[in-house]
Amino acid sequence: MSTRPFGVGLVHGVVTTRSGARLPQIADAFDVAEIIGAAGDQHALLVSDIPRHFHGHVEANTLFADPARISMLAMAHHRILQAAAVVTDVVPIRLGTLVRGPKGARDLLTREAGRFAERLATIHNAVEFAVRILPARGPTRQASQLQAGSGRDYLRARSDNRGCGRPAAVDIALQELALRAVAICERQPVARQAGRPPAVADVAFLVDRRKLTAFDECAGLIEQQIAQNGLALDIFGPLPAYSFVDSRAEDQG
C-alpha cells in the first residue's frame, strides 16, 4: 500500500492504520498504480488516485455519468475491498466518495473517527457470507425482512414469523448457520432474472474468521439436506462486511 501524495482520490474503505501497513500491493481502480493508504492517527483510507485526464469530469460531477465507467469502477471497488478483507477488517465506503488530496483524507478521518471506530468494532475479526436459498421450481412467498442482530435474536425473530409460508427446512437451515455466526441480516429476496422466482431466503452472515471452517462445513451439510426438499443453496464469501456497516457516501473532503 503506497503512501504517495495524490490529487483527487476515490475512497474505497477504511482500515486501522496498523493493519493497513500489512496490506499487500493492490492495483487501484484505474489499474495505473498501487492503491494509496491515506493514514491518520488511528485509521487509514484506501484511495485510488483519479488520473488527471478525469479531473475535469470530477469537477463537473460527471465521473459517474457514464454507465460503462460506473460498471468498471464498481467492479474495481469490490476487487480492492475484497483483497483488503482477506487480510484485515475493512469498512466499505460507498462508491462515489471523493477526497481532495492528503489533507482532504485527513479531514474526513478526523471528522468521522468515532463512526469509523464503531464500524470497525462491529465487524472485528469477521467477514461476510451471502447465502441464498433457491426454489427448485414454482414461485415462493417472500419472507419478511429482518434486521441484523445476534444469533439468539435471529432464532427468536424467526419463531415469531413461522407464518411466512416458506418451507420449514429453510428456517432450520438458517438457524443452523445462525448458531455459527456473529450477526445476521436477512434481506427481502428479489428476482434476479426475468421470469425467475425470487429466492426463498436471502441472508448475510457475519462470521468470525476463526470459525470459517465450522461455518463452511455446516453449509456443506445443509446443501445436501435441503436438496432433498427441492431447494438449492448459493453461498458467496468471504466478502467485505457490506451488510453490517453503514456505507453511505461521505461528504467530499
Residue pLDDT tens, the chain, 253 long: 788 889 989 999 999 999 988 899 999 999 989 999 998 889 999 999 998 876 555 543 567 777 888 899 999 999 999 999 999 999 999 998 999 999 999 999 999 999 999 999 999 999 999 999 988 654 433 333 334 455 555 555 455 444 456 778 899 999 999 999 999 999 887 766 655 667 889 999 999 999 999 999 999 999 998 988 889 899 999 999 999 987 664 544 5
Q: How many CB atoms lie within 10 A of CB 64?
A: 15
The predicted pLDDT at position 214 comes to 94
CA distances from 53 to 50, 57, 105 (A): 8, 8, 21
Side chain identity, residue 156: R
The predicted pLDDT at position 139 comes to 42
CA atoms of 122 and 141, how far apart (whole Å): 32
Best CA proximity match to 37, nearest among 55, 72, 13? 13
The predicted pLDDT at position 68 comes to 87
Do 8 and 51 contact (CB within 8 A), yes or no? no
What is the grid cell recorded at 16? 486501522
Angle between helices 168-178 and 212-227 in degrees, nearest 10: 170
The predicted pLDDT at position 22 comes to 87
CA atoms of 98 and 61, how far apart (whole Å): 11
CA distances from 69 to 25, 247, 251 (A): 23, 21, 22
The predicted pLDDT at position 58 comes to 55
The predicted pLDDT at position 146 comes to 36
Measured between its terminal Cα atoms, the distance across the chain in Å is 21
The predicted pLDDT at position 148 comes to 46
CATH architecture of 126-243: 2-Layer Sandwich (3.30)
The predicted pLDDT at position 143 comes to 35
Report strand pairing: 126-135 vs 183-187: unpaired
The predicted pLDDT at position 88 comes to 95
Please state the domain extents for the chain: 8-122, 126-243
The predicted pLDDT at position 44 comes to 95
Q: What is the pTM of this model?
A: 0.79
Do 41 and 79 contact (CB within 8 A), yes or no? no
